[in-house]
Chain A
Amino acid sequence: MNYPLYIFLIFGLSASSVFAVNTSTVDRLLQNYRQQGAHDFDGKAGEKLWHQSFKNPKTGKLHNCTSCHSKNLRKPGKHVRTGKHIDPLAPSVNAERLTDIRKVKKWLLRNCKWTLGRKCTAQEKGNILRYLQSQ
């Protein structure tokens, strides 16, 4: 039963690299947000914000994140203005989601500004990412 140390090392390293692939983008963003003063990211708070409606000052219409991303994150969404198909946002059915850091940053900026009428705080963005990650 004397396994050489390197066998454990290989297993250990491969397991940690798989883990790193799955979480690195979100983890890196959360780390950024922590540096901006945010902490204890809460998926439940993210979920609440996700469903909260805001009035668009220009159109007077109420919108929330589900207006485009559908009420079920595992199902495709539909752009509320153009009707264009949007792939599911839940990483459990769409593995590409939350992997491209530029994409995540871009959409959080654009969609917070459009839906909420302002930028999201680092805390809010972290909460939303925690919520989405769990889907």
Chain B
Amino acid sequence: MKTLTLLLTLSLLASGCMADDDGDEGNENSWRFLQKQRDVAAVSNPQYQEECGSCHLAYPPGLLPARSWKKIMTHLDQHFDDNAELEADVQKQLTEYLLLHSADHSSYRRSGRIMRSLNGDDVPIRITELAYFRHKHNEIPQRMIKGNDKVGSLSNCNACHRRAEQGFFNEREINIPGYGAWDD
């Protein structure tokens, strides 16, 4: 059994390395695998990136539970004081993608932590209001967020987490515009 697991692991690593011509990306994939999916899953749907990513970062679906995405996707005409209406077929396809990859359907560790930080049947529609999120960001002074015109708001993940769309939120990767790395 051990040999089988080892073989499987090796073949997965190899396929990760070969999946991309770019050597660095390949290593990254294997590194991620070794890290036991520590962060959240990367955004993997080009239509989602196109439709939602034209106004804001295409938030990785593993940052909210399925029930939250469902609520957000049924009120797109009143989407945080904006109109984000989609044609019915696109709306349906994107909802399916979000539900399937939501925090409660993800094996990624950070998604699991987000789920465990929720209160019972809470249906949060803002990532920034999650207990887990607030806990992680409560030490950052406002001058680095609101007072920083390159950031403006905590919902602008990729201002500091430059690879947010790829699902990387590791503290060591943080790069706050005008301030650099975060050291707490």
Instruction: Give a binary string over A59-75; 1 marks a CB under 8 Å from any B CB, 0 the rest.
Output: 10000000000000000
Query: Provided the pairs A79-B55, A83-B152 are in contact, do residues A110 and B84 lie with their beta carbons within 8 angstroms?
Result: yes
A82 x B155 contact (CB < 8 A)? yes
With a cutoff of 8 Å between Cβ atoms, the chain A residues found around residue B84 in the complex are 110
Q: How many residues does chain B have at the interface if contact means C-beta atoms less than 8 Å apart?
A: 16
Once the chains are docked, how many angstroms separate the CA of A59 from the CA of B83? 13
Contact partner, A81, options B77, B82, B85, Cβ 8 Å: B82
Contact partner, A110, options B56, B57, B80, B83, Cβ 8 Å: B83
A79 x B81 contact (CB < 8 A)? no
Tell me which of A56, A79, A82, A113 has the highest count of chain B C-beta atoms within 10 A of its own C-beta: A82
B87 x A102 contact (CB < 8 A)? yes
With a cutoff of 8 Å between Cβ atoms, the chain B residues found around residue A81 in the complex are 55, 80-82
The verdict on B156 contacting chain A, using a C-beta distance below 8 Å, is yes
With a cutoff of 8 Å between Cβ atoms, the chain B residues found around residue A106 in the complex are 85-87
Nearest chain A CB to B150 CB, angstrom units:
9
A79 x B83 contact (CB < 8 A)? no
B85 x A110 contact (CB < 8 A)? yes
A82 x B56 contact (CB < 8 A)? yes
Could you tell me which residues of chain A, from 73 to 97, have a CB within 8 Å of some CB in chain B?
79, 81-84, 86
The verdict on A24 contacting chain B, using a C-beta distance below 8 Å, is no
**Nearest B residue to A117, CB-CB:** B83
With a cutoff of 8 Å between Cβ atoms, the chain B residues found around residue A86 in the complex are 54
A82 x B77 contact (CB < 8 A)? no
Once the chains are docked, how many angstroms separate the CA of A111 from the CA of B77? 11
With a cutoff of 8 Å between Cβ atoms, the chain B residues found around residue A113 in the complex are 77, 83, 85
Once the chains are docked, how many angstroms separate the CA of A107 from the CA of B82? 12
Could you tell me which residues of chain B, from 32 to 67, have a CB within 8 Å of some CB in chain A?
54-57
Nearest chain A CB to B82 CB, angstrom units:
6
With a cutoff of 8 Å between Cβ atoms, the chain B residues found around residue A83 in the complex are 152, 156
Nearest chain B CB to A17 CB, angstrom units:
28
Instruction: Give a binary string over A99-132; 1 marks a CB under 8 Å from any B CB, 0 the rest.
Output: 0001000100111011000000000000000000
Nearest chain A CB to B178 CB, angstrom units:
15
Could you tell me which residues of chain A, from 18 to 32, have a CB within 8 Å of some CB in chain B?
none
A58 x B87 contact (CB < 8 A)? no
With a cutoff of 8 Å between Cβ atoms, the chain A residues found around residue B155 in the complex are 82
A110-B83, A110-B85, A113-B77 provided; 9 other pairs, C-beta below 8 A? A59-B81, A79-B55, A82-B155, A83-B152, A83-B156, A84-B54, A84-B56, A106-B86, A113-B83
Give chain A's interface residues, CB within 8 Å of chain B: 56, 58-59, 79, 81-84, 86, 102, 106, 109-111, 113-114
Q: Could you show 28 A-B contacts with beta carbons less than 8 Å apart?
A: A56-B81, A58-B81, A59-B81, A79-B55, A81-B55, A81-B80, A81-B82, A82-B55, A82-B56, A82-B155, A82-B156, A83-B152, A84-B54, A84-B55, A84-B56, A86-B54, A102-B87, A106-B86, A106-B87, A109-B85, A110-B83, A110-B84, A110-B85, A113-B77, A113-B83, A113-B85, A114-B82, A114-B83
